[in-house]
Amino acid sequence: MTPIERLALRCLSPGFTGSSAPDWVRRRAASGLGGVVLYGRNVQDLAQLTALNAALHAERPGLLVAIDEEGGDVTRLEARTGSSYPGNLALGAAGDPSLTSDVAGAIGTQLAEVGIDIDLAPVVDVNTNPQNPVIGVRSFGSDAAAVAVHSEAWITGLQGAGVAACAKHFPGHGDTSVDSHLGLPVVEEDPHVRALEPFRAAIGCGVQAIMSAHIVAPAIDVLPATISRRVMTGLLRDELGFSGLAVSDALEMRGVSDGRDVAGAAVRALVAGCDALCIGGHLAGEEVVDEIVRAVVAAVEEGRISEQRLHEAASRVDALAAWRQGRGSRTHVSNEVGIVAARRAVKSEGPVRVGNEAVVVRLEGPRSIAAGDVPWGVAASLAARGVKVTAAQDLDAPAGTSLVLVVRDLHRLPEQRQVIEGLLARRPDAILVEMGVPACRPPGAHSYIATNGSARVCAEAAADLMTR
């Protein structure tokens, strides 16, 4: 392997399938691969994950093992059960930055124990567009100042446990109505107005990494931020003064790959100022790694990217690895803080207590690609508290039986709203539980609970209210 190939490899963070590292990943790790990104598909339980990460680090101690563990709706460690920690919107609703820091510290404690080096969190986007299909409950809220305060608290808590934080999605994904997994969102508002404030706070408190967004901010550039030098160098480095690791969002996402091959997008992201390139959410094989390495080498040979720029990117990957190795596991916070935070975040109005029997109607909405297929709803939590629960898709509830209607982001689903309004007209005593952004409470919802997220602990907090 040539020196340029090794530098190119250092800038890559691919994903892979399976609960153990494939041979191709181990070989490339030993050859200088910069990192890997783990997904829910790679996690069976904590013991298996610990062994997987130990095997990866045995190939190269400086390998950066990354994962998306936001808490709330986006969890990889607890994708099979739902998270033990509320997500950002719930923490924003609780309104206590010290609690936010404690939750992040607990997440960081667990990540450090299983051998994770960098958590691709927190989301610091200001959720200014209610129709946003991909941020929503992943944001601390719609007020930039409050989001900045909680972002700083979350980063401080996580990094206090010895795990690097990665603030995302720069320069702000909150003012969008398109999921960048599926298309290219455009933010009409200049990020300087609101979106940059939490990133400034993140940089000010020493965040180790910042992830790009596959969005266009016309006030700055017509190119997607990930491949825009004006955004990733001019704005992030020169204007905001960030000197840490710039991480690309997954390069196979349609927001940046539509009309471009992944290898070409990788080269353009490096030129723009990204240092670590994430791939492998869907393209999880060795072929894409080899393709990108060849493309980067060709770009150096053709003068489209300088060897100095490649050295700079690789050195930032190494610098973060050195930071992680120097930290080890620091603070230790109990995971009991998760349910404490969820209980402080849940809000209710009207009579929300259920009887000994309840029919639970959960209305399914579009699944978030970012979150994946994670269990949600309140039926299991009610049953665990002794309620005889019948899950249903209609209103066939016997007389005297409580009716619980469960939704997620009702404000974005007009057809579901019609269904709910019809059900409430027939059963005005029904309890409506909103487990997404609580932006739409129908007039007929006299008994209402807002959990501010669909994490398992959010469901438990709602069940506590309905059974106490």
CATH, residue 352: 3.40.50
Q: Please, are residues 369 and 179 in contact by the beta-carbon 8 Å criterion?
A: yes
pLDDT bucket at 179, cuts 50 / 70 / 90: low
User: Buried (b) or exposed (e) across 275-314, using 16+ Cβ within 10 A?
Assistant: bbbbbbbebbbeebbebbbebbbebbeeeebeeebbeebb
Cβ–Cβ under 8 Å, residues 197 and 153: no
Last residue of a domain, one of 327, 362, 383: 327
CA angle 458, 459, 463 (to 5 degrees): 120
Q: Is residue 53 one of the residues assigned to a domain?
A: yes
User: What are the angstrom distances between the C-alpha of 70 and each of 115, 160, 277, 349?
Assistant: 17, 16, 20, 28
Partners of 388 in beta bridges: 357
* 395 band by pLDDT with thresholds 50, 70 and 90: low
138 and 18, same domain (yes or no): yes
Residue 14 pLDDT? 96
**Does residue 222 have a pLDDT over 60?**
yes
Which amino acid type is present at position 93? Answer: A
Average pLDDT for 150-162: 97
Does 378 share its domain with 263? no
Q: Are residues 224 and 371 in the same domain?
A: no
Closest CA relative to residue 355, chosen from 388, 323, 377: 388
Element housing 94 (H / E)? helix 88-94
**Which residues are 360's β-sheet partners?**
391, 404
The helix (run of H) or strand (run of E) holding residue 359 is strand 357-362
DSSP assignment string, 50-74: HHHHHHHHHH-TT-EEEE---BTTB
Cα 228 to Cα 1: distance, rounded to the nearest angstrom: 30
Single-letter code of the amino acid located at 11: C
201 inside domain: yes
Element (H, E) at 200: helix 196-204
What is the pairing mode between strands 431-434 and 447-450?
parallel
Q: Is residue 333 part of a domain?
A: no
Angle at 164 between CA 158 and CA 165, to 5 degrees: 65
Omega prior to 171 cis, within 30 of 0: yes
Active-site annotation holder among 68, 73, 175, 249: 249
pLDDT, one tens digit per residue, over 305-331 is 999 999 999 999 999 999 999 886 566
Residues 215 and 79 in one domain: yes
Please give the DSSP secondary-structure letter assigned to residue 412. G
Alpha-carbon span 73 to 195, nearest angstrom: 22
Choosing from 294, 327, 360, the residue where a domain stops is 327
The structure tokens listed for 216 are 């266009």
Q: Where are the alpha helices (DSSP H) in 260-336?
A: 262-272, 286-301, 307-327
266: in domain: yes
Q: Answer yes or no: is pLDDT of 234 > 60.
A: yes
On the question of pLDDT at 64 being above 60, the answer is: yes
Active site residue: 169, 181, 214, 411, which one? 181
- Same structural domain for residues 356 and 243? no
Residue 91 forms part of a structural domain: yes
Domain boundary among the residues 264, 299, 327 is at 327
Mean pLDDT of the 239-246 span = 98
Counts of helices then strands in the chain (DSSP H, E):
16, 14
316 and 351 belong to one structural domain? no
Query: Is there a catalytic annotation at residue 249?
Result: yes
334 within a domain of the structure (yes/no): no
| Local confidence band at 260 (pLDDT 50, 70, 90 cut-offs) | low
Instruction: Compute the average pLDDT of residues 162-178.
Output: 92
pLDDT at 183: 75
Same domain, 314 and 351: no
Cβ pair 50, 28 in contact under 8 A: no
Task: Round to whole Å and give the CA distance between 459 and 453.
Answer: 9
Query: 349: which residues sit within 8 A by CB, 6+ positions away?
Result: 447, 448
Average pLDDT over every residue of 199-219: 97
Same domain, 24 and 81: yes
Give the helix/strand (H/E) hosting 382. Answer: helix 379-384
* Strands of the 431-434 sheet, one edge to the other: 347-349, 447-450, 431-434, 402-407, 357-362, 388-392
Q: Please, what is the Cα angle at 369 between 366 and 371, to 5 degrees? A: 95
Which CATH number fits the domain that encloses residue 159?
A: 3.20.20.300
161 in Cβ contact with 137 (< 8 Å): no
State the total domains in the chain.
2
Cβ proximity of 110 and 161 under 8 Å? no
Q: Which domain holds residue 220?
A: 3-327
Classified as helix, coil or strand, 300 is helix
